[in-house]
Amino acid sequence: MSPHELDVDQFALTRRDNLTTLQSHILAGQAKHPDATGTFSWILSAISLSAKVISAKIRRARIDDVLGGIGNTNVQGEKQQKLDVIANETLMRCLGNREGVAIVASEENEEPLIIQRQSTRDGRYVVLFDPLDGSSNLDTCGGVGTIFSILRHDSLADTVEESVLQKGTRQLAAGYVLYGSSTVLVLTAGAGVSMFVLDPLIGAFLRVADDLKIPKSGKTYSTNEGNRRSFDPGYQRYLDWAQENGYSSRYAGAMVGDVHRLLLQGGVFLYPPTKKSPEGKLRLMYEANPMSMIVEQAGGKACAGKQRILEIQPKALHQRTSVVLGSPDEVAHVLEHL
């Protein structure tokens, strides 16, 4: 090697692949659609900005004394945490000024919000989100997350609800942010699942996986066994079978943490109907649907009983559903027992 040639190896990054940020990933996706105006990209960028702000606030929550409840319950009848409100406001502020966001719908708001009336005529997108899923974990430094779903606004719809209440199969994109030991954003726009990690040193989400595939099987189930007695017998038979076959139980108490684990390691997450939540506890529009799109795009399955979750025709914004989702083989084992 002549003296002027650099030995690239000595300068090689620890990883061989290129450095791709979420921003460049989004723009590359946009470039595949020549008729794209960039509005969709701007929405994803707004969600990325929200995630960075929420992540920063969560990691300082105890220092800034913003943990704990605010003394009231939200539309779900759940104790509202201070950070629920902060996360909700952050998303509203980041999305509110983005052209093309016709409507936003949040777990924290009773009704969907028309963000830009002029765009509700020829508006482009509806964004739904659970701003801080699993927020009861905050006080004990457990994982929490943001879950989002993007639909095309139906400008011909007579009412806001009609435009929002679309089946999960009509989602244009879905994703979640897990605020855990690192801040991870997982996203699908219908052509596979990509994973990004927030590099706090540079404030950018760096892509660490593209076209993520869920393991076909995994001997881990995730459910709140405290509810076991009120599960239908089929679910109880499944739990007996799993325990007889050496399965592990893992339960984070936040859907985002449980789904992220099974997406990477395989397994199944179950929230069956219970006595307290006979329809199931998880919300269809902004928990089950986005998570089901991600899991299916990664090669997994997502069911409510025997029905495919994404095929459920929503009737109300905050309606709930039972959930069995994860590795295809593991979902099959559950359904065999129902």
Smallest distance from the beta carbon of 104 to ligand P6P, in angstroms?
Answer: 19
Q: Which amino acid is at 21?
A: T
189 vs 303 by CB, closer to ligand P6P: 303
Smallest distance from the beta carbon of 157 to ligand P6P, in angstroms?
Answer: 28
173 vs 255 by CB, closer to ligand P6P: 255
Smallest distance from the beta carbon of 172 to ligand P6P, in angstroms?
Answer: 23
Smallest distance from the beta carbon of 258 to ligand P6P, in angstroms?
Answer: 6
Smallest distance from the beta carbon of 84 to ligand P6P, in angstroms?
Answer: 10
302 Cβ contact list (under 8 Å, min separation 6): 288, 291, 292, 295, 296, 308, 309, 310, 323, 324, 325, 331
255 vs 303 by CB, closer to ligand P6P: 255
**Whose CA is closest to 167, among 284, 41, 269?**
284
- The side-by-side arrangement of strands in the sheet containing 248-249 is 248-249, 220-222, 268-271, 323-326, 301-304, 307-308
Smallest distance from the beta carbon of 145 to ligand P6P, in angstroms?
Answer: 8
69 vs 96 by CB, closer to ligand P6P: 69
What tokens does 136 get? 């009861």
30 vs 220 by CB, closer to ligand P6P: 220
Mark 300-322 as b/e (b = at least 16 C-beta within 10 Å): bbbbbbeeebbebebeebbebbb
**Under the rule (CB under 6 A), what is the footprint of ligand P6P?**
133-134, 224, 253-255, 281-282
23 vs 136 by CB, closer to ligand P6P: 136
Rg (CA), the chain: 21
